[in-house]
Structure 1
Amino acid sequence: MTAPSSPNPSHTGSSVAAREHIVHPFGPLYDGRSRVLILGSFPSPASRGQAFFYGHPRNRFWRVIAAVLGQEVPATIGEKRAFCSANRIALWDVLAQVDIIGASDASIKNPMANDLAPILAAAPIERIFCTGAAAGRYYKRLIEPALGIPAEVLPSTSPANAAMTFERLVHAYAPIADALLRQ
């Protein structure tokens, strides 16, 4: 007699990664001068490990945003914080908690949104940008109806979006510079 097969792939010897329930492990980055809010979907395992945004070494966010603003690429978390403050950039993620497999936005189930109200109350945010289609989709579904503020969706800087060249990303992110450089 054979044992019945388990509905749970982790019990079958399968190499399928398990979905984890994860609560966002760090807070937003902003100050009273922030004018642009840039939202990702949810931090990758690398970002969660660093407790900071866009932490995967192959994520191009910091290179792209520095190029768009004509500045040096910040290397350390301290430099990245100072870069955002000096350029009046706020960073956060659309989602507060998810059930996810690894870093795959496509695997997200049961998303719960972050509350953006404290940022919007404390800072004169003029524009909101989402980095990637998933961030844009979750923002539109979970946050925009309550806030009534649309967000501009930019291409993902993730290494998973390898088809998008660095040059095309810089061009796509130019509206951030326009928003920040406008007086």
Structure 2
Amino acid sequence: MTKPLLFCFEPVADCNAEILILGSMPGQESLAAGQYYANRRNAFWKIMAELLEFDPGCSYEARLHELKTARIALWDVLKSCTRIGSLDASIDNSSITANNFQSFFAAHNRIRAVFFNGAKAESAYRQYVLPTISNVPLSYMRLPSTSPAHASLSYEQKLQAWRAALSPAEISLS
């Protein structure tokens, strides 16, 4: 079976972004819907709604607006790859093309912290992106994946880890 070549979405960011949350590559449901974290079992939007105090049932556009208002940008490490299904473990590493972070950070020069939504996002960034960027002083932290495939932690444990990283001192609600 031929693995399809998949492409990520454009970043969700404006010039005021101070925090960047990175996934690896959108899953099948997200790609089909054209929305980040569209799988209803993925805890990302539920966690963001809890942390930023918005209605998790609001429209996708409203959720993106809430992220931007909190100065949070959202993107994926991989620009393209081949994969069958949605699991990061199914990504064919020989097919990976990373996004252009040198240009992204130049255009979003207020970003000071990068949070990885899971291990694959972090490992891909360190392997494919970190060697290509220079003079970009950032702090990095891997957070537990919000994916339903990452079932070793409960929702509450994931929420606590995300809350600790994205504490009110780190995010702006104004």
**Structure 2 length as normaliser, TM-score?**
0.87
Runs of at least 5 residues in structure 2 that lack an aligned partner in the other structure: none
Deviations 1:111-150 (A, max 9, x none): 1101123332222101001101111110111111222545
Distance 2:47 2:99 in 1: 25
Alignment match of 2:112 (pick from 123, 126, 147):
126
Other structure's SS at 1:160 match: coil
**Structure 1 length as normaliser, TM-score?**
0.83
On the 8 A contact 1:62/1:73 being kept in 2, the answer is yes
Other structure's SS at 2:166 match: helix
User: What's the CA shift for 1:181?
Assistant: 4.5
User: What's the CA shift for 1:100?
Assistant: 0.5
Distance 2:128 2:117 in 1: 16
Distance 1:55 1:118 in 2: 27
Aligned length: 166
Alignment match of 1:38 (pick from 13, 18, 21):
21
Deviations 1:141-183 (A, max 9, x none): 111122254521111001111221111111111212342149x
Greater C-alpha Rg: 1
What is residue 21 of structure 1 aligned with on the other side?
5
Over the matched positions of the two proteins, sequence identity in percent amounts to 32
What is residue 45 of structure 2 aligned with on the other side?
62
| Residue 144 in structure 1 maps to residue 135 in structure 2 | no
Distance 2:144 2:111 in 1: 21
Q: Report 1:150-169 matches (<5 A).
A: 151-169=140-158
| Residue 176 in structure 1 maps to residue 161 in structure 2 | no
Other structure's SS at 1:78 match: helix
Q: Aligned letter for 1:45?
A: Q
What is residue 15 of structure 1 aligned with on the other side?
none
On the 8 A contact 1:133/1:153 being kept in 2, the answer is yes
| Stretch deviating more after TM superposition (165-174 or 146-155) | 146-155
Distance of aligned partners of 1:139 and 1:150 in 2 relative to their CA distance in 1, 3 Å threshold: farther
